[in-house]
């Protein structure tokens, strides 16, 4: 049940003291002059003093937009541009016939070129950095190797099944399934599996298709009747070798085939791990960064990985079984693990408190947050690499890091999700010049201990 109960025998009762709901504006048509780009694949417009976030528009256009969410009292409205009265010169015909108002919600920028979409993403990153972190920096969103037109790159696709048994993708901000015959941003092997065609039997609610770096495509139907299989992904770097890693077919992995290799190469180049160093890999997943870091720090070095997902931690243990370094994997909430004695035990002491020479953070979209960054700063690393898929969360966390004595040393942004609003940023932080690398840390008895996973599972 929701928080509001139903009344029997009469209309819904309104709690005392609360004003009546404001009239909805959903379905209204508005003529708008579109302004700058906003975070989330939207552009900003105004109508009679109310902010409107418009999808399927471009800066500088004049459009007729249909309101999709909001009331007369809402701080802002959401709308779809359903008619273009004055087109921007960058507007193109979408490559996908299922892209547009009311259709598939997977892509945000099919109506412009991939080059211009990268300019829009760069504007968003710059604006978030300036607004949330006070950082004024030029940003270029770079194409990944092998990228050209922004199409045919996605190696993992999650399809939903509608009540008629047809597969498709969900509409924007909706559970409604839009049946499609193919996906323009997916690699061709996805369609060849037959996942888009045919009739799915009753009870099947979704289909996940994975085209791994090694081996044949895999389809997993939902709900799962069998254990989820693992697939093998290959990470190839120009300077640091190649590793194959096992990962669940439904686990987290970068969906662009060049993403993992590019990110590993850049992180290692910026951090410059040295033999014998102690490295902390937070939100380590199946160990993609930890595997290459272990090669660099060598047999006298230490790599500690922390991951909240038990299946991913088990796979990381497999992937790192033959690592050259002393590797420790901890399964648990990152914040709780950092606040427990576990980190000191695994990293070892430097003076009277635990210490890491390098830290890699690859948090979920919500970011790491103040608590995690305070704990990381207390480890006094000489450098940290922060891998982020959300520029707003990154900017917020960079502001926390600055308060803790770490400044932005370098930033690169990669178009790991062409045609969508998503962008991957890698920020490298180092101590402020002249900043003493000493930070207060709670005594161990004041911290909460969390569980951890080793090679034989949770202990």
Note whether 324 and 399 are same-domain residues: yes
What stretch of H or E contains 345?
helix 342-347
Instruction: Find, among 414, 420, 413, the residue nearest to 184 by Cα.
Output: 420
Task: Give the burial string for 80-105 (b: 16+ CB within 10 Å, else e).
Answer: bbeebeeebebbeebbbebbbbebbb
| pLDDT (0 to 100) of residue 230 | 97
Q: What is the largest CA-CA distance in the chain?
A: 75
Q: Is 317 helix (H, G, I), strand (E, B) or coil?
A: helix
Binding residues: 254, 283, 307, 362
* Tokens (6 digits) for 425: 């940023």
Is 389 annotated as catalytic? yes
The least confident of 132-136, 353-357, 443-447 is 443-447
Note whether 253 and 199 are same-domain residues: no
- Show Cβ contacts of residue 394 under 8 Å, excluding neighbours closer than 6 positions: 128, 129, 367, 386, 388, 425, 427
Q: The domain that contains 53 carries what CATH number?
A: 2.40.50.140
* Tokens (6 digits) for 340: 């427990």
Name residue, tokens 């108002």: 101
Note whether 240 and 263 are same-domain residues: yes
Q: What is the extent of the structural domain holding 362?
A: 230-458
Instruction: Give the number of C-alpha atoms closer than 13 A to the C-alpha of residue 344, restricted to the C-beta side.
Output: 17
Is the pTM for the entire model greater than 0.95?
Answer: no
Alpha helices in 36-148 (DSSP H): 114-133
Note whether 217 and 241 are same-domain residues: no
What is the rounded CA–CA span in Å between residue 247 and residue 281?
17
What is the rounded CA–CA span in Å between residue 148 and residue 188?
15
Helix then strand then coil, % of the chain, to nearest 5: 20, 30, 50
Instruction: Please determine, for residue 441, whether its predicted confidence score (pLDDT) is greater than 50.
Output: no
Which of 195, 222, 249 is at the close of a domain?
Answer: 222
φ/ψ of 162, rounded to 5, equals -85, 170
Instruction: Find, among 268, 257, 272, the residue nearest to 291 by Cα.
Output: 268
Asked if the structure places residue 84 within a domain, the reply is yes
Q: What is the pLDDT of residues 171-208, one digit of tens each?
A: 999 999 999 999 999 999 999 999 999 899 999 999 99
Q: Is 447 helix (H, G, I), strand (E, B) or coil?
A: coil
Q: What is the pLDDT of residues 284-340, one digit of tens each?
A: 999 999 999 999 999 999 999 999 999 999 999 999 999 999 999 999 999 999 999
What is the rounded CA–CA span in Å between residue 103 and residue 229?
32
Asked if the structure places residue 76 within a domain, the reply is yes
Asked if the structure places residue 411 within a domain, the reply is yes
Instruction: Find, among 434, 398, 404, the residue nearest to 135 by Cα.
Output: 398
Asked if the structure places residue 377 within a domain, the reply is yes
- Beta-carbon neighbour count of residue 18 at 10 Å? 7
Asked if the structure places residue 322 within a domain, the reply is yes
Q: What is the pLDDT of residues 361-383, one digit of tens each?
A: 999 999 999 999 999 999 999 99
Note whether 391 and 435 are same-domain residues: yes
DSSP per-residue string spanning 239-282 = SS-EEEEEEETTS---SSTTHHHHHHHHHHHHH---TT-EEEEE
Which of 174, 198, 222 is at the close of a domain?
Answer: 222
> Cis before residue 223, ω within 30 degrees of 0?
yes
Note whether 235 and 210 are same-domain residues: no
Instruction: Give the number of C-alpha atoms closer than 13 A to the C-alpha of residue 218, restricted to the C-beta side.
Output: 18
Note whether 79 and 206 are same-domain residues: no
| pLDDT (0 to 100) of residue 21 | 83
| pLDDT (0 to 100) of residue 250 | 96
Asked if the structure places residue 393 within a domain, the reply is yes
Query: What's the domain count of the chain?
Result: 3
Note whether 363 and 278 are same-domain residues: yes
Binding residues for S-adenosyl-L-methionine: 254, 283, 307, 362
Instruction: Give the number of C-alpha atoms closer than 13 A to the C-alpha of residue 365, restricted to the C-beta side.
Output: 4
Q: What is the pLDDT of residues 260-286, one digit of tens each?
A: 999 999 999 999 999 999 999 999 999
Asked if the structure places residue 451 within a domain, the reply is yes
Note whether 287 and 364 are same-domain residues: yes
Which of 91, 116, 139 is at the close of a domain?
Answer: 91
Note whether 448 and 355 are same-domain residues: yes
What is the rounded CA–CA span in Å between residue 397 and residue 265?
23
Query: How far apart are the two ends of the chain, measured CA to CA in Å?
Result: 38
Q: What is the pLDDT of residues 89-123, one digit of tens each?
A: 999 999 999 999 999 999 999 999 999 999 999 99
Instruction: Please determine, for residue 451, whether its predicted confidence score (pLDDT) is greater than 70.
Output: no
- The mean of the pLDDT values for the chain is 90
* Tokens (6 digits) for 448: 């909460």
Task: Give the burial string for 133-148 (b: 16+ CB within 10 Å, else e).
Answer: bebeeebebbbbeebe
Note whether 269 and 384 are same-domain residues: yes
**Strand 62-69 to 242-248 pairing:** unpaired
Q: What is the pLDDT of residues 22-76, one digit of tens each?
A: 999 999 999 999 999 999 999 999 999 999 999 999 999 999 999 999 999 999 9
Q: What is the mean pLDDT of residues 399-416?
A: 98
What is the rounded CA–CA span in Å between residue 159 and residue 165?
12
Asked if the structure places residue 111 within a domain, the reply is no
Note whether 200 and 302 are same-domain residues: no
What is the rounded CA–CA span in Å between residue 357 and residue 366?
25
Q: Is 394 helix (H, G, I), strand (E, B) or coil?
A: helix
Q: What is the mean pLDDT of residues 407-423?
A: 98
Catalytic residue among 104, 183, 284, 389: 389
What is the rounded CA–CA span in Å between residue 54 and residue 59?
10
| pLDDT (0 to 100) of residue 348 | 77
- Please, are residues 39 and 120 in contact by the beta-carbon 8 Å criterion? no
């Amino acid at each position: 049940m929701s928080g509001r109960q139903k009344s029997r025998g009469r209309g819904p009762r309104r709690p005392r003291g609360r004003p009546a709901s404001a009239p909805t504006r959903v379905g209204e048509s508005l003529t708008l002059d579109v302004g700058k780009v906003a975070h989330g694949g939207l552009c900003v417009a105004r109508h009679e003093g109310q902010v409107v976030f418009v999808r399927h528009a471009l800066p500088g256009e004049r459009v007729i937009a249909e309101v999709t969410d909001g009331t007369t009292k809402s701080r802002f409205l959401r709308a779809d541009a359903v008619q273009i009265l004055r087109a921007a010169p960058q507007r193109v015909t979408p490559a996908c016939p299922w892209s547009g108002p009311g259709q598939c919600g997977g892509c945000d920028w099919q109506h412009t070129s991939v080059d211009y979409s990268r300019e829009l993403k760069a504007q968003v990153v710059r604006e978030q950095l300036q607004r949330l972190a006070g950082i004024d920096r030029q940003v270029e969103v770079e194409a990944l190797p092998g990228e050209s037109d922004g199409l045919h790159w996605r190696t993992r696709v999650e399809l939903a099944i509608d009540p008629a048994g047809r597969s498709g993708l969900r509409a924007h901000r909706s559970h409604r399934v839009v049946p499609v015959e193919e996906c323009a941003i997916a690699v061709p092997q996805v369609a060849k599996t037959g996942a888009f065609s045919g009739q799915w039997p009753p009870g099947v609610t979704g289909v996940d298709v994975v085209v791994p770096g090694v081996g044949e495509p895999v389809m997993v139907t939902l709900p799962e009747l069998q254990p989820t299989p693992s697939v093998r992904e290959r990470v190839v770097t120009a300077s640091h070798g190649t590793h194959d890693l096992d990962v669940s077919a439904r686990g987290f992995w970068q969906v662009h085939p060049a993403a993992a290799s590019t990110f590993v190469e850049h992180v290692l180049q910026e951090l410059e791990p040295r033999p014998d160093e102690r490295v902390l890999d937070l939100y380590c997943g199946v160990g993609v960064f930890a595997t290459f870091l272990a090669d660099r720090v060598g047999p006298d070095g230490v790599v500690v990985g922390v991951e909240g997902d038990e299946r991913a931690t088990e796979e990381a243990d497999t992937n790192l079984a033959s690592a050259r370094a002393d590797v420790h994997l901890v399964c648990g909430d990152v914040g709780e693990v950092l606040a427990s004695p576990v980190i000191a035990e695994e990293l070892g002491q430097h003076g009277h408190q635990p210490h890491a020479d390098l830290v890699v953070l690859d948090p979920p979209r919500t970011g790491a947050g103040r608590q995690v960054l305070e704990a990381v700063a207390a480890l006094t690393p000489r450098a940290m690499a922060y891998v982020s898929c959300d520029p707003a969360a990154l900017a917020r966390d960079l502001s926390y890091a600055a308060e803790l004595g770490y400044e932005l040393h370098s930033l690169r942004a990669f178009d790991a999700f062409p045609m969508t609003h998503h962008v991957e940023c890698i920020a490298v932080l180092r101590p402020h010049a002249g900043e003493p690398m000493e930070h207060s840390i709670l005594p161990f008895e004041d911290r909460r201990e969390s569980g951890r996973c080793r090679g034989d599972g949770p202990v």
